[in-house]
A = this chain, B = another copy of it.
């Protein structure tokens, strides 16, 4: 029986590896996607670094973050970050949690992250803070219990990015690609803010600009252009490793080059995958 979620597993595996390839996730961190056919379920990798995730690593979870099919493989200890956001936010279909080096200084100081350029506006109108100590006292800082997960989701509220004091960031997206886009460009914005604060006074986007930039950049044009770029960069890296004799990572061939509308040189390169993706998105 063919797996009805094969495309989704491929895309989520690739999203994991893009976030590793672009420097957002190292050994720790994770990204998930809601089951498009059953909103009470989501997909996430078993316990391993994003750079290594393949479609066969992807497991299905209930919103209580329990595996739908019992398993004895190791699971991430912080899955409630994902499940509790999916419970609280029906508009959210993808969640990412990471500890990118440019974002952590904000988590360590409490300095507010503000949108400083059009692409950074993907952070949304506000990036709230969550401090696990407020409700739970001294912990190992991980978000492990349903109560911690629910508290974390409440702190996110209606927003799309949350900073965790002394820990990292969690992001939500209406789609997997939007979540990847937001994870990468908010990190670029954080990098810029670190550098800008060292030389002068910040002049962030006005609320009106932030709203317009967010809408524009998260439209399909911008997200697809960036996705094609990140997929291509990942292809280059992974093709090199495969040519060197390492096992070819699975999942990438099926999602390559989404932008096939248009010129011949591109069309001839990836006709089937482009169509496959187009179909996947229509579902």
Contacts and interface: CB of A to CB of B under 8 A. Distances in A.
Contacts of A209: 133, 138-141, 166
A139 B203 contact: no
Interface in A226-283: 226, 228-230, 232-233, 235-236, 239-247, 250, 259, 261-266, 269
Contacts of A265: 54, 56-57, 250
Interface string A188-225: 10011111111111111110110011011100011001
A51 B200 contact: no
A201 B74 CA distance: 38
Interface stretch (A42-50, A146-154, A171-179): A42-50
A197 B197 contact: no
Contacts of A195: 101-102, 104-105, 194
Contacts of A199: 105-106, 109, 111, 193-194, 197-198
A110 B202 CA distance: 8
Contacts of A261: 72-74
B247 A269 contact: yes
State how many copies of this chain the complex holds: 4
A50 to B, nearest CB: 9
Contacts of A141: 117-118, 205, 209, 212-213
Interface residues of A, number: 96
B203 A46 contact: no
A107 interface: yes
Contacts of A226: 27-28, 49
Contacts of A107: 116-117
Contacts of A215: 140
10 contacts: A28-B119, A49-B225, A49-B226, A49-B229, A51-B232, A52-B229, A54-B265, A57-B263, A140-B216, A236-B246
